[in-house]
A and B are shown apart, each in its own frame.
Chain A
Amino acid sequence: MRAVSDSLRGDLLFGALAFTLLAAVDLGLGSPGLLDFTIRFATFALLALSLNLLIGVTGLVSFGHAAYFAMGAYAFGLLMQTGAWSIPAALVAALAASALFALVVGALCVRLTEIYFAFLTLAFQMLLHSVILAWIPLTGGDQGLMGGIPKPAFLGIDLARQDHLALFSAFCLIASTVILRQVVRSPFGAALRMLRDNPDRAAFLGLSVFRYRLGAFVIAGTFAGLAGVLMSLYVSGAFPSFAFWTTSGEAIFMIMLGGITVFLGPIVGAALFILLNDRITALTDHHGLYMGAILLVLVLGLRKGLLDFVVEAWRERKERRS
């Protein structure tokens, strides 16, 4: 048990440091642009990181991860609009809704692999998208949840203030990162990696492929739901585009940009994606074209994400020296 607390303590320390640093920079500079970036970064980094638990760790490429993101956003937004819920309670309920939705969809999807899995997850996401568009009395249809989301202060945290929301988002991202890293390093995480590497041998050793894949699916969906909650706080609403396939696509893009094999890769990818996207959108209307070109260069040129590339080069150098 000591080995556990050692690595976990290291992560907690690192997380606390990262949070302090982010908070100091955000509050020190206090620029609205930076706060805005922090919120969007935390939201999408969390979405990409949770998706990579499926893609990078478990070897399941989901094209429908945004469904749980949208589920979290809508559940949270709807609960807050009733006026009867506090933010922490609505947050927990929204996570539960995302987890439950992931449990149901996952139970139907994880028996399949590869392209069949990818397309079935995509199908369920588009189903949710259609439901959101069609159920106008509840969701507002293509107008989204209108009228804003009330954000009553709790524990001295007022999420209506941009700086509070930025720190809250950063905290959610860092806490989730520490938790997910522990999951990856646990015996459960080792089982997921076994399933990625060689599901047949894992089953031969007595691992239930179905249960462990479903476990990964639910955990990933829950954290995507948290990203959705942050998103609905950010835009003070929820929109059908959250559940559209392009949102899942962007998360996959971020993972490919940052790196699939390195745990922090998706976080780096999310930062790069947002920075690139902002810069390119400011310069041209055809930003899809440029983002696509960058992805092509990465996929064909490096054949891996940026952090994969850096870590591998560093490892090789170390090996040559020794």
Chain B
Amino acid sequence: MTGGRLELIGLRKAFGGVVATDNVTLTFAAGTLSAIIGPNGAGKTTLFHLVTGKLAPSAGRVLLDGEDITGLDRQTIVRKGIGRAFQVANLFPSFTVAESLAAAIMTHEGRTARLFSAFPPRDIARRAEEVMELCGLSPLARRPAKHLSHGDQKLLDVAMALALDPKVLLLDEPTAGMGPEERWRMIERVYRLWQAKGLTLVFIEHDMDIVFRIAESVRVLRYGAVLAEGTPEEVRRNPAVIEAYLGAEHALEAAP
């Protein structure tokens, strides 16, 4: 499945008096690779919650390929083609890698109501194998999720989202809690997945080296609102972004 176009129009979410998402209007074109950055509490994860239906927006709209999906429930949104991996890997601990992927596909397709056949069904096991191949998880196929390393658990989480053939894949800090080496391995895999599947990929990331190396475009959030957007170069030259978030380390000299 190829990428889908994701549009957020005037999206707003308030918890009582606290505005977590403030009039966010962003477009993620089909097949692009975008990063969302911003200080802690900038509303990055909340934005993902609003897109995936975990939270209902107070105002604004979410469009997938022009279709309004605002306020639909989570399952429906997954079925429409928006996949998501979690900040903390969200797995089935006793399932092996192969079983986890098969279970995800089988459930997604509503094929769980069978008592007299075996799990996993053959065709689904084959598709799980393809996903494992793509994600480099094949050597770990028979290992239970709870016995995987932290990095491999996050990779499995991404693979489970990917197994559902999303048009848009949202990754919430795919490298959180990983060592430097593991980080790059992970991000390389994510990059290759994006190239292979041609899907629209949006990721939240704190490591600016990663962001500026792989993202095609960067959106900066602060206090729930869009502070800046553009190519990595443009963002690194933006004085407001430098002041609010980047500091001197990642700044390119501000444009004259």
Interface residues of A (CB under 8 A from B): 1, 3-4, 7-8, 182-183, 185-191, 193-194, 196-198, 200-207, 212
Contact = CB atoms under 8 A, between A and B. Distances in A.
A206 to B, nearest CB: 4
Main secondary structure of the interface of A (DSSP, over half): helix
Contacts, number: 88
A187 B92 contact: no
A201 B79 contact: no
A197 B113 contact: no
B78 A204 contact: yes
Contact of B103 (A7, A182, A194): A194
A185 B117 CA distance: 8
Given A7-B118, A190-B119, A194-B103, A206 B110 contact: yes
8 contacts: A3-B118, A7-B118, A8-B118, A185-B118, A186-B114, A191-B112, A205-B103, A206-B108
Interface in B103-125: 103-104, 106-108, 110-122
B92 A204 contact: no
A210 to B, nearest CB: 13
Main secondary structure of the interface of B (DSSP, over half): loop
Contacts of B113: 187-188
Contact of B93 (A187, A189, A197, A207): A197
Interface string B52-82: 0000000000000000000000110011000
B92 A193 contact: yes
A193 B102 CA distance: 13
A188 B74 CA distance: 22
Contacts of A200: 90
A187 B106 CA distance: 8
A198 B92 CA distance: 6
Contacts of A205: 75, 78, 103-104, 107-108, 164
A7 B102 CA distance: 19
A194 B112 CA distance: 11
